[in-house]
Amino acid sequence: MQFHTILTSIALLSCFTLSPLAPAHAQPKADASVKGKAQVDDVIVEMSQAFKKTDTKRLSALLPQIRGHILEPWGAYWELHARLESATPGEIQAFLSRYAGTYQEDRLRNDWLLLLGQSREWGTFMAEYPNFRMNDDRSVRCYALMTEFSSSQLDVAQQIEELWLAQREADDGCAAAAEQQIKADKIKPHSAWLRARLGMEMGNARIATQAVGLLNAEWANTAGAIYANPARYLTGKLLALRLRTKELVTLALVRLAVGDPDAAAAEIDKLRWKTQLTDEERSWVWGVIGKRAAMRLSDGAIAYFLNGQDKFMHDDQLAWKARAALRAGNWTQVASAITAMTEAQRKDATWIYWRARALLNLAPDEAARLETTRLLTSIAGVSGFYQQLALEELGQRIAVPAAPEPLTAEEKEGARLNPGLMRGLYAIEIGLRSEGVREWNYNTNLHSRGGLNDRELLAAADLACQHEVWDRCINTSERTKTVIDFEQRFPMPFKAALLKRSTQIGLDPAFVYGLIRQESRFVMDAQSGVGATGLMQVMPTTARWTAKKIGLTDFKPQQMTDPNTNIAIGTGYLKLVLDSFDGSMPIASAAYNAGPSRPKSWRGQSGAPVLEAAIWAENIPFAETRDYVKKVLANTTSYAALISGQAQSLKSRLGLVGPRDASAPETSIDLP
């Protein structure tokens, strides 16, 4: 990135009126020297560290030193957020006014609305909520729906129920809204039991106990005990917990199924549960049992699912039923599961594609072919795994689309004069990547200036590309709807080094680019939560092991932030993985993400079916790895089209996946 260019652009910003949402105070001062800015940069970074430590006094002491700096809104946000609970309404309103139109203004409003909701200060909440532009916080939305119901008795039950059931944590906002609706008899108790089931399955005891507690506070203790030991509850050995209802039994069976689906299947088949539980409750439990068996790639998964009725199962259970049926080659059950999904899930490209395939397999007549063509055409495209597969099913290949009209100087200047975008770039440059990314996303999203059109998005992406902030370049370019700049979406930094290294070791450079794009978005200093580093996100242990394998002497782990070293180590490891799995890109991608041992088991033992790699990938038990494999392979196909200038096939890269040929020598790449 050209830091001096950013500074020059920032200085120029003060010469223009950018937007009615961007007040003059938010513009940086053009006469500040680079040296002076660097000194204030250090203060900004220190404030970010103080914020993480909740050092309120230090934040307040440092704030005056950053007045007039481009990142002043961030420093002011940290300082006020740290003491928000004790801040006066006047202080908050002064902040919202001073930084009107910025991400920080809307972020603080979000924080304040949550506090107002928690303290039930509905008057102030209702006055401020209409100004909340992001409006993407489920808890805030639930509080707002509570106020709407209280003030005008609007029918908000369905909205609250959907928000509540979708929450991944036991928040106050949606729980309070659900409780309000349950007491008003607008949401039925059954929904609370559904919420508790989801908590039991996702391993969140707080969700389960909170949901049950809305119905009866004493039952929450029972739900907690069930979570800890479902088998003891089912066998009646929890003597202190005499409450036994079919709903609590259902929770116990769900929790048991998470750890041992076979044991849960044996338990629910007992006569007493057959007579006590409803068809809906039994079907839901069988859905959990089937899902957990499918995630273990058990051949018995479909049989478990068939004990229940699709119409009573959760979308996630139906998705796993469809995956298990694909693996078993049971197209009737693939179609059945997809048909039972909610409309929103059926519209996902994954299930449109497999619905089309199922239809053609079950009824290969003219009507089926026409409907299959309609379904595939609705998703076919050059970007995305199932979009590319749909294109190939229609007899086409993946080619680079025509480039859009070049950006004009005015369009580029519009992006460069956007204060939010420049703040984002500046924050990233001085090491505040998280803040910079959030700032950038806000200013390229629908919350800013009514949203950016496709040309404005291309200009913003171009700005990020010019400053080599590749992750924002890619993510912004991907959001265009009617035009595609393929070279912008699939940039090729470090091209000379990468092509040279790939050629030397016999590795497809498109595969390397496809993997890096998914791993790090070309962020050189990317660091994962588990310690993977650099462009190719290599773990320290893997890096040391690979360095020895490829003869890289005097290797030090800190060298992994150097792009050339990272590429050498990463491509070396990828080549070893690929060779170990007989050149299969899907398995090698899974191994790169989840480690070599897991894909070995996922491909099956002797006698396991040989599958289309698309079916194999869809059945990967880990959601992260499943998504990763599909994106890497789609990326690879796109990069191959760019590099070669020729239309490409995703299907040819996928191939088939099955057990390893027992007669072939096995090459172990297990790490020490």
Query: Cβ(157)–Cβ(186) under 8 Å?
Result: yes
**255: closest CA among 277, 280, 229?**
229
Tell me the C-alpha distance between 163 and 139, whole Å: 8
Give the DSSP letter of residue 661.
P
Q: What tokens does 161 get? A: 């129920």
> Residue 88 — left, alpha, or beta (φ > 0 → left; ψ -120 to 50 → alpha)?
beta
3-state secondary structure labels for all residues of 120-152? CCHHHHHHHHHHCCCCCCHHHHHHHHHHHHHHH
Give the DSSP letter of residue 446.
T
Cβ-proximal residues to 49 (8 Å cutoff; 6+ apart), any chain: none
Give the DSSP letter of residue 558.
G
Q: What tokens does 571 get? A: 């491509």
DSSP of 576-618: HHHHHTTT-HHHHHHHHHH-SHHHHHHT-STTPPPEEHHHHHH
DSSP of 85-109: TT--HHHHHHHHHHTTTSHHHHHHH
Phi and psi (nearest 5°) for 657?
-130, 130
CB atoms within 10 A of CB 661: 10
Q: Tell me the CA end-to-end span of the chain in Å, nearest whole number.
A: 38
Task: Considering only CA atoms, give the Rg of the chain.
Answer: 28
Q: State yes or no: is 478 an active-site residue.
A: no
In the chain, what's the furthest Cα-to-Cα distance? 83
Q: What angle do CA 144, 111, 24 make, to 5 degrees?
A: 110
Tell me the C-alpha distance between 427 and 434, whole Å: 8
Number of residues written out for the chain: 672
**614: closest CA among 402, 300, 349?**
349
Query: Cβ(94)–Cβ(108) under 8 Å?
Result: no
Amino acid making up residue 334: V
Phi and psi (nearest 5°) for 527?
-135, 120
CA 287 vs CA 214, 261, 319, 620: distances in Å: 25, 10, 10, 18
Tell me the C-alpha distance between 424 and 430, whole Å: 10
Give the DSSP letter of residue 657.
E
Tell me the C-alpha distance between 386 and 502, whole Å: 27
Beta bridge partners of 533: 527, 538
CB atoms within 10 A of CB 218: 10
Query: Cβ(334)–Cβ(301) under 8 Å?
Result: no
Beta strands per DSSP E along 550-596: none
> Residue 289 — left, alpha, or beta (φ > 0 → left; ψ -120 to 50 → alpha)?
alpha
Amino acid making up residue 394: L
Phi and psi (nearest 5°) for 154?
-65, 150
Give the DSSP letter of residue 394.
T
Amino acid making up residue 491: P
CA dihedral (618, 622, 627, 633) positive or negative: negative
Indicate the angle between helix axes 315-328 and 349-362, nearest 10 degrees: 40
Beta bridge partners of 648: 398
Which one of 201, 519, 624, 666 is the catalytic residue? 519
Which residues participate in catalysis according to the annotation?
Answer: 519
